[in-house]
Amino acid sequence: MSLPSLIAGAHAPGRASSCTARIVEWPAQRAVLPEPRGSGVPRLFVVDNGSEPPVSADCCQDWMWRSGGQREMRLRVQQLCLRALEHGHVRPELDELGMLRVGLRAVHLPAKERALAAVLLRHFGRPVLRDELIRAAWPQGISRPNVLASRISSLRSRLLWIGLEIPGSSATGYCLRTTATVPATDTGGFEEELGLTGWYGGGSGPRGSGLPAPRAAV
């Protein structure tokens, strides 16, 4: 079976967020893995028949036998991408209407908080200094010294339930990042739209993926 390196596995209908999974040939690509475990990038290991498959607790990793075929690959990739979207393991996206999305979650931001979020997203995972945030949201300057802290506090409250947090302070700068735990999300029928009914949730496949266990190598 000829293998692509990337497969588009899921796009949230009516939403901006999408997900692509990386295909890893195992054990041939053991030494050249493109992303570390826990990176949030969905990875499907296609294992040579007779080789020892990689086992991991990473919810964004799965495996199948090379003899499994294209249909099994497509279904496993869709399942991996659904997990990544549901758990927020995708980069946040802010659209022109002020909707900030993380996987299947979304929140609308008012104008000032939208401007702050846009700057924080450009530096995702890294601190942004107070002056840069003020220039983005208040080009003419601010009239009260605590106005930035007040807006950041409001933004924090809005972003918490979609799995984002903003640690930091005016003195040290603010950083947008994912939270350690992400609240449960109603997928809104997303798995049915992907054709995953009966595959999603607990099951006999690896790590409770809802997929059947891989067949024994022939």
> Tens digits of per-residue pLDDT, 22-36?
888 999 988 766 555
* Alpha carbon distance 56, 76 (integer Å): 15
Nearest to 161 by CA among 207, 99, 201, 102: 102
Q: Are 155 and 108 members of one domain? A: yes
Residue 218 placed within a domain: no
Give the integer Cα–Cα distance in Å for 37 and 147: 40
pLDDT digits (tens, 9 = 90+) for 120-154: 999 988 999 999 999 999 999 998 989 999 999 99
Q: Where are the beta strands (DSSP E) in the chain?
A: 6-11, 18-26, 43-47, 61-65, 93-94, 99-102, 105-108, 164-165, 168-169, 173-174, 177-178
Is the confidence at residue 1, as pLDDT, over 60?
no
Domain-located, residue 217: no
% of the chain at pLDDT higher than 70: 66
pLDDT digit string, tens, across residues 188-208: 443 444 343 333 333 334 333
Note the pTM of the prediction, 2 decimals.
Answer: 0.55
71 and 97 both lie in a single domain: no
Using an 8 Å Cβ cutoff, are 79 and 196 in contact?
A: yes
Report the share of the chain in percent with pLDDT over 90.
39
Range of the domain at 144: 93-178
Q: Is residue 24 part of a domain?
A: yes
Question: Are 100 and 173 members of one domain?
Answer: yes
Total number of domains constituting the chain: 2
Q: Classify residue 123: in a domain, yes or no.
A: yes
155 and 204 belong to one structural domain? no
> Considering only 53-57, 59-63, 126-130, 194-198, which range has the smallest mean pLDDT?
194-198
